């Protein structure tokens, strides 16, 4: 079977590897470079976290939206001008987290992709000769007090329900592990099964090379058109194939629309700042609860990443979002006080998380044809979720089984009355 995989971000490269191993003749088509700056996979927080089962949309979000529109320094911002174009997506996004039962359901679905993500990455990295890029040292959520932790009790209940394990640390224990953290963080939840990647770009590039070493072809080009017969137009040239996997992040939306699936996907733009030579290294990544950002020591330096900015697809970066990350970092690590963005010592980046309105990716065949298969919309968790996604995509492409238990990722959910509950209820009760 000939399969074209469109996109060489983390989802595309993991999918290509899985498909070649299953015996398919795979061609990867990528517009730029695997894991390059254009990809969300390039500059993310590098967390491989089974604890990322907490949806972004949680009960009460709607009350906060007006504040987000006014506050330019918070963790989430919406550009006024873009509001009309985003309103419908935003409404669906907010409704997706409107009740506890909804967020429980979403978190159970995410857990299917995330529960063994660190282990899957470690195995894949070893196979591809990239073990040096994956560290399984745990992840710390740091709080100024136990009360602040308790304020997020719903998030931790969801994690517990999904089998996430953590240790609760006091100020002394935190200090012994992360001495550079400000003393205001007196309570910590250390997720022992968490892992991280030391260089997501190098990892994605390495996995793309691994796919090629296993027999995949690589074409640098932009897919401008696909159709239900399996015709793929690359920079205007036609390639006919048996199956096409759309794994091109935010770019998947326009291609899915061409085959009849106008999906509710928008980009949640995120930012990072990397301090190239920080005075300290973190023993494991940290998420300070007040700054809402992932702090990760990578091979390139200390990466501060986060922020959600909702804006027009074509709008340029607003680098004030990176300054906010630096500002929070100075509150989190006193030795960074006074740091200002300086291109000699820092880099910064903006990337587009491909986010579905209901907080779950689309991993399914298209409605119109089994020839077109979707693997996009992973929002905040695509790095971690990619290996399991690839496994599911592979079984769909190879028609191994219909994967009834993954119907919650089907594109059909946006168009028909797919019985979502029926599939999720087959999952063991976790709580
Ligand atoms: C600031 C930030 C922090 C994050 N932190 C984390 C984290 O800590 N952990 C985590 O798990 N996730 C995190 N994420 C989310 C994660 O990065 C994404 O979910 C993931 O990278 C999506 O991968 P992808 O392969 O679907 O898309 P992408 O990485 O965007 O790759 C898509 C690729 O397709 C190519 N492409 C697009 N259109 C076409 C076309 N028409 N033809 C050919 N090629 C095309 C692009 O050039 C690109 O290379 C974060 C994201 C951001 C922005």
pLDDT, one tens digit per residue, over 270-319 is 999 999 999 999 999 999 998 889 999 999 999 999 999 999 889 999 99
Domain for residue 257, yes or no? yes
Which pLDDT band holds residue 426 (cuts at 50, 70, 90)?
Answer: very low
Indicate which residue's Cα is closest to atom 51 of ligand 1: 44
Domain for residue 46, yes or no? yes
Model confidence pLDDT, tens digit, residues 129-168: 999 999 999 999 999 999 999 999 999 999 999 999 999 9
pLDDT at 93 over 90: yes
Angle of helix 61-70 relative to helix 83-96, nearest 10 degrees?
A: 150
Give the pLDDT score at 416.
81
Find out whether the beta carbon of 353 lies less than 6 Å from any atom of ligand 1: yes
Give the pLDDT score at 75.
83
Q: How far is CA 246 from CA 11, 62, 234, 365, in A?
A: 10, 32, 13, 10
Domain for residue 430, yes or no? no
Domain for residue 431, yes or no? no
In the reported structure, the alpha carbon of residue 40 is separated from the centroid of ligand 1 by a whole-number distance in angstroms of: 3
- The whole model's pTM is what? 0.95
- Domain limits for position 42: 2-424
Q: Average per-residue pLDDT in the chain?
A: 93
Q: Which of 4, 8, 9, 239 to mutate to test the pocket of ligand 1 (most atoms within 8 A of CB)?
A: 9
Exposure string of 306-324, with b = 16+ CB inside 10 Å and e = fewer, is bbbbbbeeeeeebeebbbb
Q: What is the mean pLDDT of residues 105-121?
A: 98
Q: What are phi and psi of 189, to 5 degrees?
A: -120, 110
Which pLDDT band holds residue 420 (cuts at 50, 70, 90)?
Answer: very low
In the reported structure, the alpha carbon of residue 229 is separated from the centroid of ligand 1 by a whole-number distance in angstroms of: 27
Domain for residue 429, yes or no? no
Domain for residue 179, yes or no? yes
Q: Which of 241, 145, 134 is nearest to 197 (CA)?
A: 134
Q: Which of 43, 44, 306 to mutate to test the pocket of ligand 1 (most atoms within 8 A of CB)?
A: 44
Alpha helices in 355-404 (DSSP H): 382-397
Enter the tokens of residue 337: 């006080």
Burial of 254 (0-12, 13-18, 19+ CB in 10 A): middle
Total domains in the chain come to 1
Which pLDDT band holds residue 418 (cuts at 50, 70, 90)?
Answer: low
Cα three-residue angle 253-365-27, rounded to 5 degrees = 75
Lowest mean pLDDT among 71-75, 339-343, 377-381, 396-400: 71-75
Q: Which of 46, 89, 135, 82 is nearest to 383 (CA)?
A: 46
Which pLDDT band holds residue 421 (cuts at 50, 70, 90)?
Answer: very low
Token pair 């793929």 in the structure block, residue: 232
Give the pLDDT score at 332.
96
Domain harbouring 310, CATH code = 3.50.50.60
Give the H or E element holding residue 408: none
Model confidence pLDDT, tens digit, residues 331-352: 999 999 988 999 999 999 999 9
Which pLDDT band holds residue 373 (cuts at 50, 70, 90)?
Answer: very high
Indicate which residue's Cα is closest to atom 21 of ligand 1: 41
């Amino acid at each position: 079977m000939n399969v074209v995989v469109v996109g060489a971000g983390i989802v595309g490269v993991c999918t290509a590897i899985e498909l070649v191993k299953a015996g398919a003749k795979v061609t990867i088509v990528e517009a730029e470079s695997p894991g390059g700056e254009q990809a969300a996979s390039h500059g993310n927080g590098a967390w491989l976290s089974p604890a990322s089962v907490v949806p972004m949309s949680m009960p009460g979000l709607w009350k906060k939206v007006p504040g987000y529109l006014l506050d330019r320094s918070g963790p989430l911002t919406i550009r006024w001008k873009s509001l009309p174009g985003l309103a419908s997506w935003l409404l669906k996004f907010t409704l997706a987290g409107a009740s506890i039962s909804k967020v429980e359901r979403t978190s159970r679905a995410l857990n299917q992709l995330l529960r063994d993500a660190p282990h899957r990455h470690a195995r894949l990295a070893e196979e591809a000769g990239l073990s040096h890029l994956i560290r399984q040292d745990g992840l710390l959520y740091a709080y100024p007090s136990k009360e602040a932790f308790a304020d997020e009790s719903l998030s931790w209940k969801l994690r517990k329900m999904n089998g996430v394990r953590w240790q609760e640390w006091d100020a002394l224990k935190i200090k012994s592990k992360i001495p550079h953290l400000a003393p205001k963080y007196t309570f910590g939840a250390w997720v022992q099964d968490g892992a991280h990647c030391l260089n997501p770009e190098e990892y994605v590039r390495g996995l793309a090379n691994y796919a090629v070493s296993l027999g995949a072809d690589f074409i640098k080009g932009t897919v401008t058109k696909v159709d239900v017969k399996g015709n793929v137009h690359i920079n205007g040239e036609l390639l006919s194939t048996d199956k096409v996997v759309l794994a091109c992040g935010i770019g998947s939306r326009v291609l899915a629309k061409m085959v009849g699936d106008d999906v509710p996907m928008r980009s949640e733009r995120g930012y990072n700042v990397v301090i190239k030579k920080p005075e300290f290294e973190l023993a494991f990544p940290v998420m300070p609860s007040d700054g809402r950002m992932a702090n990760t020591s990578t091979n390139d330096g200390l990466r501060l990443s986060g922020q959600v900015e909702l804006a027009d697809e074509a709008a340029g970066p607003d680098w004030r979002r990176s300054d906010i990350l630096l500002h929070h970092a100075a509150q989190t690590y006193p030795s960074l006080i006074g740091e200002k963005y300086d291109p000699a010592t820092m880099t910064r980046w903006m990337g587009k998380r491909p986010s579905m309105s209901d907080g779950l990716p689309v991993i399914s065949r298209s409605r119109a044809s089994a020839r077109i298969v979707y693997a996009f919309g992973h929002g905040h968790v695509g790095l971690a979720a990619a290996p399991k996604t690839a496994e599911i995509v592979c079984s769909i492409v190879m028609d191994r089984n219909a994967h009834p238990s993954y119907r919650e990722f089907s594109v059909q959910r946006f168009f028909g009355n797919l019985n979502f509950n029926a599939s999720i209820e087959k999952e063991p009760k976790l709580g």
